[in-house]
Amino acid sequence: MVWRTINGERTLLSTDPGQMLADQTGYWAFNLLIISLLFTPLSKWFRLRWVGYRRAVGLWAFAYAVIHVLVFYWLILGANLSSFGRELVQRPYIVLGASALFLLLLLAVTSNQFSMRRLKKRWKDLHQWVYLAAMLVAIHALWQIKGDWGWPMVQAITVMLLLGVRLWWVLQRRLSAAK
Amino acid sequence: QKVKQDWPQTVSTDERLTPEYDATHYNNYYEFGVGKDDPVRNSQDFRPDPWSVTVSGACNNPGTYALEDLLQTQNLEERIYRLRCVEAWSMVIPWLGFSLADMLQRFEPTSDAKYVAFETLMDPDQYPNQRSFRPAIPYPYLEGLRMDEAMHPLTLMAVGMYGEVLPNQNGAPLRLVVPWKYGFKSIKAIVRIHFTADEPPTTWNIAAPREYGFYANVNPNVNHPRWSQATERRLPSSFLSPNVIDTQMFNGYAEEVAQLYTGMDLRRYY
């Protein structure tokens, strides 16, 4: 972080810190979400025992997403509650982002041992919704692209591949059960 | 390098100037890359000299003009203009230049000249995004104005800013500044001027016609399909003061330019 003093004013990070932080927190929230999705397939293929870290990564993804929204509200909208409300209903990609955050909130509050015990089998069903959240985030990111495709495209493809792997496993299980 | 020591300041504002550092280190110039710091990072070896501009189309004096010839007869003025980017950020910049009208009149446009088209240099050797495997937008960059917009006294052909020659990253050696339109209309590094009877194609309109129109007048009442144009972040902004202000009709130049668009549906001609 660089502090710069011009005309007695201090500028932190960038000429436009709101845009920069909104981009960066969103980018990393999505990356962390993707990493949390990688745990199960990687553990299975490489017989790793990393699954214990999955919850922490998922919660960090949620934390980045919350900061992302705070930056948007505070620095992009100038802490204007009515324009926040307007954006929330008018901009389709913001509706998608907000829906994804709502899903992540549900998953975050049920991420503890207590909820796992209480929800039993339903816990797994509930937490499979993370794939829906990831797809919503992917569209949320792709929708904002201007000239450059770059990372949102790579992230979206990664999510689709991971979802494909999971669906393939489900299919295999169904087929072997049917035999 | 100073352009000239004394010039009259013909348009001013009591708004705070954007610090020169911010205006020269944070901007869009896709030829150098899509990041906001790509222009300053990738433009240091750009060669704005020698430079010439080809004039063609409906005019009596077409031809290729060396930059020096185009500047000779012009008197430089300093004009402090608000610059509103279509991405909803804005700056206040002291430009050095001359009325585009003064320059265009030398070419004697004929009555067939209803529009004037501009083109940025095409040179993949100097512009990384032009030689990229997937360019962000089609090149060369094209822009255009209706003739009355081009001849309007506020329309500026800029050769400098902050009392010095234009830095490469801000469009050296010759760029347009149309202060009541979104920034992308203010085409940089101009190599071609063409007078035409028909509305010329413009780059962002080609790339995304629903989002960027030919007119691109700053208008808080007509949102970009994906984001609001009602407010803007006046840069530099900081954590303590996000500096979000209301966007003004025609970027605050309505008194001067609104009559150009009398009777036009600005929702349709966005």
Across A112-127, average pLDDT: 92
Q: Which of A17, A78, A146 sits opposite B244 (nearest CB)?
A: A78
Spatial neighbors of B43 by CB under 8 A, at least 6 apart, are B29, B32, B167, B168, B169
The Cα–Cα gap between A13 and B75 comes to 39
Q: Where does the pLDDT of residue B173 fall: very low under 50, low under 70, confident under 90, or very high at 90 and above?
A: very high
Residue ranges making up the domain that contains B250? 9-261
What are the sequence ranges of the domains in chain A?
3-178
Q: Output the CA angle A62-A63-A65, nearest 5 degrees.
A: 65
Write out chain B residues lying below 8 Å of A91, CB-based: 226-228
Q: Where does the pLDDT of residue A48 fall: very low under 50, low under 70, confident under 90, or very high at 90 and above?
A: confident
Largest CA distance in chain B: 56
The Cα–Cα gap between B178 and B184 comes to 9
pLDDT at position A8 is 42
Q: Is the Cβ pair B233, A7 closer than 8 Å?
A: no
Q: What is the pTM of this model?
A: 0.91
First vs last Cα of chain B: how many Å apart? 39
Is B266 part of any domain?
Answer: no
* Domains contained in chain B, number: 1
Q: Is the Cβ pair B242, A79 closer than 8 Å?
A: yes
pLDDT at position A103 is 97
- Closest-CA residue of B relative to A86 is B228
Write out chain B residues lying below 8 Å of A76, CB-based: 233, 242, 244
pLDDT at position A25 is 96
* Segment B202-215, tens digit of pLDDT: 999 999 999 999 99
Q: Is the Cβ pair B233, A77 closer than 8 Å?
A: no
CATH number of the domain enclosing B154: 3.90.420.10
Is B127 part of any domain?
Answer: yes
pLDDT at position A2 is 47
Q: Is the Cβ pair A87, B25 closer than 8 Å?
A: no
Question: Which residues of B46-155 form beta strands (DSSP E)?
Answer: 52-57, 63-66, 77-84, 89-99, 115-120, 142-146
Q: Where does the pLDDT of residue A7 fall: very low under 50, low under 70, confident under 90, or very high at 90 and above?
A: very low
**A24 close contact with B: CB closer than 8 A:** no
Q: Is the Cβ pair B36, A16 closer than 8 Å?
A: yes
Give how far the C-alpha of residue B118 lies from the chain's centroid of Cα atoms, to the nearest Å. Answer: 10
Q: Is the Cβ pair B236, A9 closer than 8 Å?
A: yes
Whether the upstream peptide bond of residue A92 has omega within 30° of 0, thus cis, is: no
Is B270 part of any domain?
Answer: no
In sequence order, which ranges of chain B are alpha helices (DSSP H)? 20-25, 38-42, 67-72, 100-106, 147-150, 203-207, 254-257
pLDDT at position A1 is 41
Q: Residue B21, SS3?
A: helix
**A147 close contact with B: CB closer than 8 A:** yes
Q: Where does the pLDDT of residue B96 fall: very low under 50, low under 70, confident under 90, or very high at 90 and above?
A: very high
Is B71 part of any domain?
Answer: yes
Q: Where does the pLDDT of residue B7 fall: very low under 50, low under 70, confident under 90, or very high at 90 and above?
A: confident
What kind and span of H or E run contains A114? helix A113-119
- Closest-CA residue of A relative to B236 is A15
Q: Where does the pLDDT of residue A6 fall: very low under 50, low under 70, confident under 90, or very high at 90 and above?
A: very low
Is B50 part of any domain?
Answer: yes
Is B84 part of any domain?
Answer: yes
Tell me the backbone φ, ψ of residue A30, rounded to 5 degrees: -70, -45
| Across A45-49, B92-96, B114-118, B224-228, least confident range | A45-49
Q: Write out the two tokens for B253.
A: 């130049």
Count each helix (H run) and each strand (E run) in chain A, helices first: 8, 2
* Segment B32-64, tens digit of pLDDT: 999 999 999 999 999 999 999 999 999 999 999
Across A102-131, average pLDDT: 94
User: Closest Cα partner for B200 from B56, B61, B97?
Assistant: B56
Across A33-54, average pLDDT: 89
pLDDT at position B26 is 95
